[in-house]
Amino acid sequence: METATGLADSFSAESIGIVPSRSVLPREKLISFVNHFFDRGEIYRDVVNTYGSPLYVLESSVLRARAEQFRTAFESELPRVSCYFAVKSNNHPDVARILTETGFGLDVSSGLELNMALSQGNTDIIFSGPGKTLPELELAVENAEKVIVLLDSFSELSRIGDIARSRGKTIRAGVRLNFNPTGLWRKFGIKANELSQFWEAWPNVSLQGIQFHSSWNLTPATQIKTIQELGQLLRTMPETFTEKIEFIDIGGGFWPEVGEWLQPVETREGTERETEGKKIELNSSPSCFPADSIKTFAQLLGKTIREQIFPTRTCRICCEPGRWICNDAMQLLITALDKKAPDLVVTDAGTNAIGWERFETDYIPILNLTRPELSEHPCYILGSLCTPHDVWGYAYWGSGIQTGDLLLVPTQGAYTFSLRQNFIKPIPPVVTI
């Protein structure tokens, strides 16, 4: 979905709006979403017939298509773009392997992720995140020809400099700037006014770039505002500084264009009914925060970079998409194990498979692949964990539901599989198709 303001000749964070207004999820949008997965039902049923349930299905064709769509959008706006997949959003090795084959680099945030990237032979790695340990920094220095470290503090600069000097190596590095050093976000990066001091010569550390990051970007407004502030900062720097900048990393946080969908309980009516102990009615429609298309993101961010950054320094632009790339590429298949009432079903999988109580608030349609029908019926779809906070949804799509029916929980590729946990029940295996 492209915004009218997004394609205007002039714009600002205020005119675009940092947070879109919440609205009722359009019925036609929901129907189209559900119908897409019902159309693929035979594929999912065949996989479960072969491998059993519960099961994660990673769709390589979807992953490749998303990667190509993202890269094409930004390459059409900027002369040099490098895309790095944020491994934290989905740390399954097949995801990293497939995206590396498409030409993506990997953005890792721990020694665990770095080891995985190196074990796959990846040679284009960004190592970001706060609190890097000495063993993690040592691993990066040992693989200096493959890794660029995005430093998060003066202490980290000192420590990696000492390690590199002791090993007789030079490590390529950038620094994360924090343009919003308040609250919990204070843990990330250095303040913008500390950049000159940070950039002073340090033996065995080749400082080459600048990074910033914002999360949950439903529109590009926050990123636009940050690029504008970075442009102002760079214009105050001497040419001897700016000529050393080889890349600017604008981070990730791009939200998929379907937007953020919330359960009816998250609406005012739903909250009031829950407080009063009343059942949440299906006609309390899910709500939605709409998101801009990746084409709109690329157009607006590309325009801002060309206006604010390139007059000072034309350099490589790096992006770190995670959720946008992998969200649609992984589905979770579960089976109705026990129908305890007409409106209560227990499944063979618990929400330890996704690691948190996501569906008490987030809305994802639960599809009955055994009895497909474009109608939704109220029903508590619950997991098999010994806890009441084990909810898959409050309704299903289909003509009915019985024990043994195969259910699909779609678009579980981002920040669910990575958060899975060993709690009570086994974690479902992954099959890549």
Would 422 be classed as within a structural domain? Answer: yes
CATH number of the domain residue 71 falls in: 3.20.20.10
Name the domain boundary from 327, 362, 383.
327
**Structural domain of residue 153, as residue ranges?**
5-26+61-327
Which residues make beta-bridge pairs with 177? 190
- Same domain assignment for residues 198 and 244: yes
Q: What is the mean pLDDT of the chain?
A: 92
- Same domain assignment for residues 293 and 418: no
Mean pLDDT of 6-21: 44
Most confident of 7-21, 118-132, 175-189: 118-132
Would 49 be classed as within a structural domain? Answer: no
Residue 2 has pLDDT above 50, yes or no: no
pLDDT at 253: 96
- Same domain assignment for residues 264 and 224: yes
pLDDT at 14: 36
- Same domain assignment for residues 278 and 298: yes
Mean pLDDT of 263-267: 66
Three-class secondary structure assignment of the chain: CCCCHHHCCCCCHHHHCCCCCCEECCHHHHHHHHHHHHHCHHHHHHHHHHHCCCEEEECHHHHHHHHHHHHHHHHCCCCCEEEEEEHHHCCCHHHHHHHHHCCCEEEECCHHHHHHHHHCCCCCEEECCCCCCHHHHHHHHHCCCCEEEEECCHHHHHHHHHHHHHHCCCEEEEEEEECCCCHHHHHCCEEHHHHHHHCCCCCCEEEEEEECCCCCECCCHHHHHHHHHHHHHHHCCCHHHHCCCCEEECCCCECCCCCEEECHHHCHHHHHHHHCCCCCCCCCCCEEECCCCHHHHHHHHHHHHHHHCCCCCCCEEEECCCHHHHHHHEEEEEEEEEEEECCEEEECCCHHHCCCCHHHCECCCCEECCCCCCCEEEEEEECCCCCCCCEEEEEEECCCCCCCCEEEECCCCCCCHHHCCCECECCCCEEEC
pLDDT at 17: 44
Would 365 be classed as within a structural domain? Answer: yes
pTM over 0.85: yes
Lowest mean pLDDT among 24-28, 48-52, 269-273, 311-315: 269-273
- Same domain assignment for residues 170 and 184: yes
pLDDT at 12: 36
- Same domain assignment for residues 184 and 305: yes
Would 44 be classed as within a structural domain? Answer: no
- Same domain assignment for residues 77 and 157: yes
Q: 264 pLDDT band (50/70/90 cuts)? A: confident
Please report, rounded to a whole number, the percentage of residues in the chain having pLDDT higher than 70.
91
Would 421 be classed as within a structural domain? Answer: yes
Name the domain boundary from 327, 349, 374.
327
pLDDT at 279: 57
Q: 20 pLDDT band (50/70/90 cuts)? A: confident
pLDDT at 8: 33
Mean pLDDT of 373-401: 96
- Same domain assignment for residues 231 and 254: yes
**Of 251, 131, 134, residue with least CA distance to 187:** 131
Residue 5 has pLDDT above 70, yes or no: no
- Same domain assignment for residues 297 and 379: no
pLDDT at 202: 86
pLDDT at 21: 82
What total number of domains does the chain contain? 2
pLDDT at 278: 58
pLDDT tens track for 117-174:
999 999 999 999 999 999 999 999 999 999 999 999 999 999 999 999 999 999 999 9
The larger pLDDT score, comparing residue 94 to residue 199, is at 94
- Same domain assignment for residues 278 and 186: yes
- Same domain assignment for residues 197 and 299: yes
Q: 62 pLDDT band (50/70/90 cuts)? A: very high
pLDDT tens track for 395-422:
999 999 999 999 999 999 999 999 999 9
pLDDT at 180: 85
Q: Is 375:366 a contact under the CB 8 Å cutoff?
A: no
CATH number of the domain residue 389 falls in: 2.40.37.10
Would 164 be classed as within a structural domain? Answer: yes
Name the domain boundary from 327, 349, 366.
327
Q: 181 pLDDT band (50/70/90 cuts)? A: confident
Would 361 be classed as within a structural domain? Answer: yes
- Same domain assignment for residues 92 and 158: yes
Would 34 be classed as within a structural domain? Answer: no
